């Protein structure tokens, strides 16, 4: 790691830990409460499991994949350290995600990479990115998969992201494209990518089977992927969405607010987009600049990634859904900001003034 990378990583780390500490302080010493998912689902589920209830059984079931739930159960076993340890883990994931975004975007321009990582870190706080959430972990592994050159590693990291949120499957075309889009099709590379992904996924579900047995495995497959395994269990929380959106197996596949309650969908989308309007505005300008002037594969890939990562909004409009597309939106905004600054530096007016 060269000097620039060290300095960038140090700044990102300080910002991430400061935000994580601020969130912990608001909950532990201020008037803020634990976020609803953690209070009503994640922690009660982990407490039930650590008290003897098998994972994905009645009172310990949710539509989250096993990667996150295994981590949730492990951290809850620490007792009173649940909140600080989990928030620290989220903060470190956000740091890692910002640094990997910097490295990824620096393939085009290191200045854009620095700006992208910084915008990403600052925009995470208003969209609940420093709350206990699944997407901070998923983003870390997703960006790692985009940076990986070996197909097997790419598959492993992409599958790891999918073990925290199923929505990363929307980005499979982007992650798999470098593996399959070659002058000559290489079946070994494709096989290595698939083997890495399938292997990690199978390992996580094998852990569920080994610890809690076949019934937990079948119930988990039903809750997570909607597979008709014949095992049905009750969730760890009641219906608090008003539209039945989060209390059924694989509800993200069958329950769309846009279809069931369109006015609610538009109202919530506007409300939850407001905190990051500057980033969205910059991203739109970045997309416009890319489509008009610089249609490079890398820039078009960022546009595609942002669009694919935003697809979950077609299901629900929750504020933390911005966490998944945020790295790519930040990169597009940074592309425009840096290019605009460069144009100002080289403009005839500036040259004459010098």
Q: Which two tokens stand for residue 200?
A: 């990690």
Is the pLDDT at 300 greater than 50, yes or no? yes
Q: What is the pLDDT of residue 346?
A: 67
Q: How far apart are CA 214 and CA 225, in angstroms?
A: 16
Handedness of CA 261, 328, 277, 9 (dihedral sign): positive
Query: Which pLDDT band, with edges at 50, 70 and 90, does 244 fall under?
Result: very low
Looking at per-residue pLDDT, the higher value among 274 and 232 belongs to 274
Looking at per-residue pLDDT, the higher value among 239 and 350 belongs to 350
Q: How far apart are CA 99 and CA 188, in angstroms?
A: 31
CB of 32 closer than 8 Å to CB of 87: no
Query: Which pLDDT band, with edges at 50, 70 and 90, does 239 fall under?
Result: very low
* pTM of the entire predicted model: 0.91
Closest C-alpha among 244, 238, 280 to residue 264? 244
Is the pLDDT at 305 greater than 50, yes or no? yes
Q: Helices in the chain by DSSP H: which ranges?
A: 3-28, 36-37, 43-50, 66-76, 82-105, 110-124, 135-147, 151-162, 172-180, 187-212, 214-225, 251-254, 257-260, 262-273, 277-292, 297-309, 326-345, 348-353
Query: Which pLDDT band, with edges at 50, 70 and 90, does 2 fall under?
Result: confident
Q: What angle do CA 75, 325, 169 make, to 5 degrees?
A: 75
Is the pLDDT at 80 greater than 70, yes or no? yes
Query: Which pLDDT band, with edges at 50, 70 and 90, does 242 fall under?
Result: very low
CB of 91 closer than 8 Å to CB of 19: yes
% of the chain beyond a pLDDT of 70: 89
Q: Which two tokens stand for residue 160?
A: 């790891």
Q: What angle do CA 290, 293, 296 make, to 5 degrees?
A: 60
Q: What is the pLDDT of residue 240?
A: 41
User: What mean pLDDT value characterizes the chain?
Assistant: 88
Domain ranges of the chain: 3-344
% of the chain beyond a pLDDT of 90: 66
Question: pLDDT of 146-183, one tens digit each?
Answer: 999 999 999 999 999 999 999 999 999 999 999 988 76
Query: Which pLDDT band, with edges at 50, 70 and 90, does 33 fall under?
Result: confident
Mean pLDDT of 320-347: 86
Residue by residue, DSSP assigns 317-353 as --GGGGGTTHHHHHHHHHHHHHHHHHHHHTSHHHHHH
Mean pLDDT of 248-256: 60
Lowest mean pLDDT among 79-88, 239-248, 276-285, 306-315: 239-248
Mean pLDDT of 127-138: 95
Q: How far apart are CA 335 and CA 113, in angstroms?
A: 9
Question: Would you put residue 167 in left (φ > 0), alpha (ψ -120 to 50) or beta?
Answer: alpha
Q: In this structure, what are the phi and psi dihedrals at residue 346, rounded to the nearest 5 degrees?
A: -105, 10
Is the pLDDT at 332 greater than 90, yes or no? yes
Q: What would you measure as the largest C-alpha separation in the chain, in angstroms?
A: 76
Q: How far apart are CA 162 and CA 68, in angstroms?
A: 10
């Amino acid at each position: 790691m060269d000097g620039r990378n060290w300095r960038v990583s140090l700044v990102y780390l300080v910002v991430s830990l400061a935000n994580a500490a601020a969130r912990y302080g608001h909950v532990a010493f201020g008037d803020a409460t634990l976020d609803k998912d953690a209070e009503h689902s994640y922690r009660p589920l982990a407490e039930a499991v650590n008290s003897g209830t098998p994972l994905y059984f009645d009172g310990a079931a949710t539509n989250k994949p096993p990667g996150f739930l295994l981590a949730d159960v492990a951290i809850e076993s620490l007792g009173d350290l649940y909140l600080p340890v989990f928030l620290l883990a989220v903060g470190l994931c956000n740091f890692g995600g910002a640094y990997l975004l910097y490295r990824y975007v620096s393939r085009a321009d290191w200045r854009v990479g620095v700006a992208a990582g910084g915008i990403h870190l600052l925009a995470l706080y208003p969209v609940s990115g420093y709350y206990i959430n699944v997407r901070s972990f998923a983003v870390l592994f997703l960006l790692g998969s985009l940076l990986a050159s070996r197909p097997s590693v790419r598959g492993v990291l992409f599958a790891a992201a999918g073990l925290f949120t199923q929505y990363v499957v929307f980005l499979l075309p982007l992650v798999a494209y470098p593996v399959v889009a070659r002058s000559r099709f290489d079946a070994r590379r494709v096989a290595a990518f698939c083997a890495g992904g399938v292997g990690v996924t199978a390992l996580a579900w094998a852990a569920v089977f080994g610890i809690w047995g076949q019934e937990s495995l079948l119930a988990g497959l039903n809750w997570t992927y909607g597979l008709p395994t014949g095992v049905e269990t009750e969730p760890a929380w009641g219906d608090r969405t008003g539209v039945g959106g989060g209390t059924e197996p694989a509800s993200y596949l069958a329950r769309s607010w846009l279809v069931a309650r369109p006015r609610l969908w538009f109202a919530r989308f506007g409300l939850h987009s407001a905190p990051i309007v500057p980033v969205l505005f910059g991203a739109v300008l970045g997309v416009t600049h890319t489509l008009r002037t610089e249609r490079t594969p890398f820039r078009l890939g960022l546009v595609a990634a942002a669009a694919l990562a935003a697809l979950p909004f077609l299901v629900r409009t929750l504020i933390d859904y911005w966490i998944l597309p945020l790295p790519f939106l930040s990169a597009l905004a940074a592309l425009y900001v840096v290019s605009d600054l460069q144009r100002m530096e080289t403009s005839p007016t500036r040259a004459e003034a010098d």
